[in-house]
Amino acid sequence: MSLTEESTQQSAAILYDNVKKRYDTESESILAIEDISLSVDQGEFISVVGPSGCGKSTLLHLAAGIFDPTDGRVEINGVDVQSDDHQKNSVGLVFQSPVLLDWRTVYDNIMLPVTVMSENGVLERDEEYYRERASDLLSMTGLEEFADAYPQELSGGMQQRVTICQSLVYDPDVLLMDEPFGALDALTKDKMNAELLRIWNETNKTILFITHDLEEAVFLSDRVVVLSPRPASILDVIDVDLPRPRTKETRHDETFVDLVSDTYEYFSE
């Protein structure tokens, strides 16, 4: 049985099947990803770590359908992301820098994807459903009193919470996060890690999370995927055998410390 057939039977949320990605320019050809196969289950939280420039973000962009794989296929919910049958609104994206419009309020920024989808005729429900969902997300993330505020009036952590709400408002099955807390200070990052886990627990989304922070990866995840230097291949997939919910005490757990140390060994040479 092929990996594709096996994952389809198991209803994989994300599937990379023998994926290769090469960037060709006039002067050179760069192999970014070499023969990666990975299956992510529904509702699973997976982090991807690796050296700088190894292809972590490329892996995420392939799942988002931003790039085409050179070889192999990428599926979301059993559908090739490059096919006409792929539902673009099945995936939410969160980047390191919040993508918010300064002239729109927090609420209007959250509703922006809904506005765009409505204009393109691809909304699956009536707009009232999404307005109620936006209000629920504001409440879930503690932002309800800032609904009429503007992005420049918020802290970096609050702006990123708005971005997470924005990516969830149209109820995607999969959330793709590219170093979303990389620009935050350590204390704010820890708070956002806890906030993200709470949101994940309440929404049961599948999350693919890119990070260079090994402690963050272990703290958040069910599994940690370790990539090699470019061209990226999978060196290991580490099972994170830590109980949930994760708390600040988790970071002092002997198993947590050992898992971080084991992961670090791949980058210490």
Give the tokens for residue 83: 């096919």
Question: How many Cβ atoms sit within 10 Å of the Cβ of residue 181?
Answer: 25
Q: pLDDT-based confidence at 6, cuts 50/70/90?
A: very low
What pLDDT digit, counting tens, does each position of 98-151 carry?
889 999 999 999 999 999 888 877 777 888 999 999 999 999 999 999 999 999
Q: From residue 212, how far is each of 14, 56, 150 by CA, in Å?
A: 21, 9, 30
pLDDT exceeds cutoff 50 at 3: no
**Closest to 65 in 3D by CA, of 55, 80, 52:** 80
Provide the whole-model pTM: 0.91
Is residue 251, in this structure, part of any structural domain at all?
A: no
Half-sphere exposure for 52 (CA within 13 Å, toward CB): 1
Is residue 151, in this structure, part of any structural domain at all?
A: yes
Is residue 181, in this structure, part of any structural domain at all?
A: no
**Which residue type is seen at 86?**
H
* Number of compact structural domains in the chain: 1
Give the rounded distance of the alpha carbon of 186 from its chain centre: 20
Is residue 41, in this structure, part of any structural domain at all?
A: no
Look up the domain containing 165 and give its range.
100-171
Is residue 162, in this structure, part of any structural domain at all?
A: yes
Is residue 164, in this structure, part of any structural domain at all?
A: yes
End-to-end CA distance of the chain: 37
pLDDT exceeds cutoff 80 at 208: yes
Q: State the DSSP string of 85-151.
A: T--GGGEEEE-SS----TTS-HHHHHTHHHHHHHHTT--SS-HHHHHHHHHHHHHHTT-GGGTT--G
Cis check: omega of the bond before 245, within 30 degrees of 0: yes
Give the per-residue pLDDT at 90.
Answer: 86
Half-sphere exposure for 33 (CA within 13 Å, toward CB): 29
Is residue 124, in this structure, part of any structural domain at all?
A: yes
Q: From residue 261, how far is each of 113, 255, 267 by CA, in Å?
A: 40, 10, 10
Percent with pLDDT over 70 in the chain? 94
H or E stretch at 161: helix 156-168
**Which residue type is seen at 197?**
L
**Which residue type is seen at 67?**
F
